[in-house]
Each structure stands twice: as structure tokens, then as C-alpha cells.
């Protein structure tokens, strides 16, 4: 059983993910806020196979979640969700009998978007247009180990369902891609969130430029580094996301993830496809993608 301590979190992110972890999720996974002894981590957990998203049933909102155990596993998200009532958890850490492994207990709560709890483990949710949201929170598994869950929701009346197959549009967002790596060198790292910038350009229904990048320090300067490439899938609603050699030194470069994205209008009936949103799952990593039309 491997244990990760606070002092090694920054080193883990820098050496294994090329700094992609640092400050992830808007502060939730910042190593400076990490618990003194995050949970003991077993090696090589079995990752679920990618699935097609099946939005959860919760009244007037379309929602989706993605964690290390798969898509839409948190049954609390089957409730009547809106921007004023998003289910998350308050997490407390315990070490029974002074054992080496820290256990995490969760208490259900709800938040109103926008919301952020900066202390680790926390949560952060931002508005998506006039009646939607996206972000992350933390949950615990059967072993009381911690992991990140990404989630989104929007009023179903805002979904743009008739997206032209030959659409031409540019979508961008700073910190629009939030993701976690399930396992690096035998260590479960799904309790760390990372963030990156999104640029997706469609021309005649095909992606001509699709990049997920992050500024990474090299010496005394920052270098804009591509962590993932984004390519066209079977339709404009399906994006294929593939890690590059720059993520974890190329360990995941063949590990493609499929994102089935929704296009969301700025207002009911606008048909402007102002936002895109969706979760993505791969064997070794998972996350959420959001972007805004230029």
C-alpha cells in the first residue's frame, strides 16, 4: 500500500503530470491545501470502460456526473436539481486508532451556484449561461478513499437539439477542461483535479483545430503546452479527446476518451449554441469539457 504525504504532492504533480495538477480545479487540488496524510492508495485499480452518457432524470434540468467509478454514479443527482440546489459533500478526515491511513467521511449538503470551498477537499461550481452550471466536488468510495467528481447541469429548455451537421463555429474557454488521472505508476491519483484551456474550431462540421493546453513553467519562463488533442467523432456532438506526449510523459497517449457534448443556447429559442458541455471518460483518466462560442 502506497501513501502520499503533503510534501510529495507537488513533486508528484510536477514530475508525473508535468505540473498539470498544480492548482487544479480552481484551488481544490492545490498541494498547499492538501491534507497532511491523504489516503493510502492501492496500485492499478480497474478503470471502467467509457460509456455513452445517459443524463440523469431530475425534472427540468439535464445533468451529468463523471467520477473514477464511471458516469452518473451519484444517485443524489437524480433529485430535482437546479442552480440553487446542487448536491455535493462536506468531507472530514479521520485516522482511527492512529493508523497510517486517513479515512474520509462525507456529509451530504447542497450549494447554490456560483460556489467554491477552497480548503482541500472542497468544491467549485461556476455558472454556465443564464440557467446552468458545471464544476467539481469530492466523494468517497467504499474504502473511504477520496476522489474527484465532475458535474454539470442546465435547463433542458436551453438545449440546442438541431445542431447543423455542417456547423462552423469557434469554442474557447480558459480553464474549460477539468480532469483527473486515475493512476500513475501504481498510485491512485483520482483525488487530484487539474485544469487546462480549451480551443475547438469547427468548419463545415469538422474540427480543424482542437487543443487543450496549459502554461507550464520551463526554467524561468512559461510555455503553452498541449496536453490533449480534440478531433471530430461521428457527429458534431461527439468529440474524441486524446492525451499527447506532454501528459504524464506520454503514458496515456493512446488512451482516447469520447465526449458526447450538449450545445446550450444563451436563452430559450435563441438557437445560438452559445455553450458546449459534456463529460469524458477514458481508461486512465476522466473529466469535464466546457467552452463558449466566440
Which pLDDT value is given to residue 22? 37
Mean pLDDT over each residue of the chain, to the nearest integer: 83
Q: 46 vs 250, which has greater pLDDT?
A: 250
Per residue in 71-123, pLDDT tens?
999 999 988 899 999 999 999 998 776 667 888 999 999 999 999 999 899 99
Q: How far apart are CA 181 and CA 192, in angstroms?
A: 8
Q: How far apart are CA 54 and CA 78, in angstroms?
A: 12
Asked whether the predicted pLDDT for residue 240 surpasses 50, the reply is yes
Which pLDDT value is given to residue 97? 65
Cell numbers found for residue 118? 477552497
Contacts (Cβ under 8 Å, ≥6 apart) of 117? 28, 123, 124
Report residue 284's pLDDT band, with 50, 70 and 90 as the boundaries: very high
Span 136-147, average pLDDT: 95
Per residue in 202-234, pLDDT tens?
999 999 999 999 999 888 899 999 999 999 999
For the chain, give the percent of residues with pLDDT over 90: 68
Asked whether the predicted pLDDT for residue 136 surpasses 70, the reply is yes
How far, in Å, are 110, 162, 198 from residue 175 at the CA level? 24, 27, 7
What is the CB-side half-sphere exposure of residue 176 using CA atoms within 13 A? 23
Question: 231, exposed or middle or buried, with CB in 10 Å at 0-12, 13-18, 19+?
Answer: middle
Per domain, the residue ranges of the chain are 6-293
Report residue 266's pLDDT band, with 50, 70 and 90 as the boundaries: very high
Which pLDDT value is given to residue 186? 82
Which pLDDT value is given to residue 48? 38
**Bridge partners, residue 139, by sequence:** 147
Span 253-276, average pLDDT: 96
121 preceded by a cis bond (ω within 30 of 0): yes
Rounded to two decimals, what is the model's pTM?
0.82
Cell numbers found for residue 71? 458516469
Per residue in 3-62, pLDDT tens?
343 333 333 443 445 433 433 333 333 333 333 334 333 333 333 343 434 555 456 999
- Strands 146-155, 257-260: pairing is unpaired
- Residue 153: strand, helix, or coil: strand
Which pLDDT value is given to residue 184? 83
Amino acid at each position: 500500500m502506497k501513501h502520499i504525504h503533503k510534501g510529495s504532492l507537488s513533486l508528484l504533480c510536477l514530475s508525473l503530470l508535468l505540473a498539470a495538477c498544480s492548482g487544479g480545479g480552481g484551488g481544490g487540488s492545490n498541494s498547499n491545501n492538501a491534507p497532511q496524510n491523504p489516503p493510502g492508495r492501492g496500485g492499478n485499480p480497474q478503470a471502467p470502460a467509457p460509456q455513452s452518457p445517459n443524463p440523469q432524470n431530475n425534472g427540468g434540468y439535464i445533468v451529468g456526473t463523471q467520477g473514477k467509478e464511471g458516469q452518473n454514479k451519484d444517485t443524489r443527482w437524480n433529485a430535482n436539481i437546479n442552480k440553487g440546489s446542487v448536491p455535493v459533500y462536506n468531507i472530514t478526515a479521520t485516522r482511527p486508532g492512529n493508523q497510517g491511513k486517513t479515512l474520509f467521511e462525507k456529509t451530504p449538503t447542497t450549494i447554490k451556484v456560483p460556489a467554491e470551498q477552497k480548503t482541500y477537499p472542497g468544491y467549485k461550481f461556476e455558472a454556465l449561461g443564464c440557467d446552468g452550471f458545471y464544476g467539481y466536488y469530492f466523494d468517497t468510495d467504499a474504502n473511504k478513499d477520496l476522489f474527484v467528481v465532475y458535474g454539470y447541469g442546465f435547463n433542458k429548455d436551453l438545449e440546442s437539439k438541431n445542431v447543423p451537421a455542417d456547423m462552423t463555429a469557434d469554442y474557447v474557454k480558459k480553464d474549460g477542461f477539468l480532469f483527473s488521472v486515475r493512476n500513475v505508476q501504481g498510485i491512485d491519483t483520482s483525488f487530484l483535479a487539474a485544469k487546462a484551456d480549451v480551443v475547438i474550431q469547427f468548419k463545415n462540421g469538422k474540427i480543424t483545430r482542437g487543443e487543450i493546453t496549459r502554461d507550464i513553467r520551463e526554467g524561468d519562463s512559461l510555455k503553452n503546452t498541449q496536453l490533449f488533442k480534440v478531433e471530430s467523432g461521428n457527429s458534431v456532438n461527439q468529440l474524441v479527446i486524446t492525451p499527447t506526449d506532454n501528459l504524464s510523459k506520454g503514458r496515456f497517449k493512446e488512451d482516447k476518451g469520447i465526449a458526447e457534448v450538449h450545445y446550450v443556447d444563451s436563452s430559450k429559442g435563441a438557437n445560438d449554441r452559445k455553450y458546449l458541455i459534456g463529460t469524458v471518460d477514458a481508461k486512465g483518466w476522466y473529466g469535464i469539457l466546457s467552452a463558449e462560442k466566440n
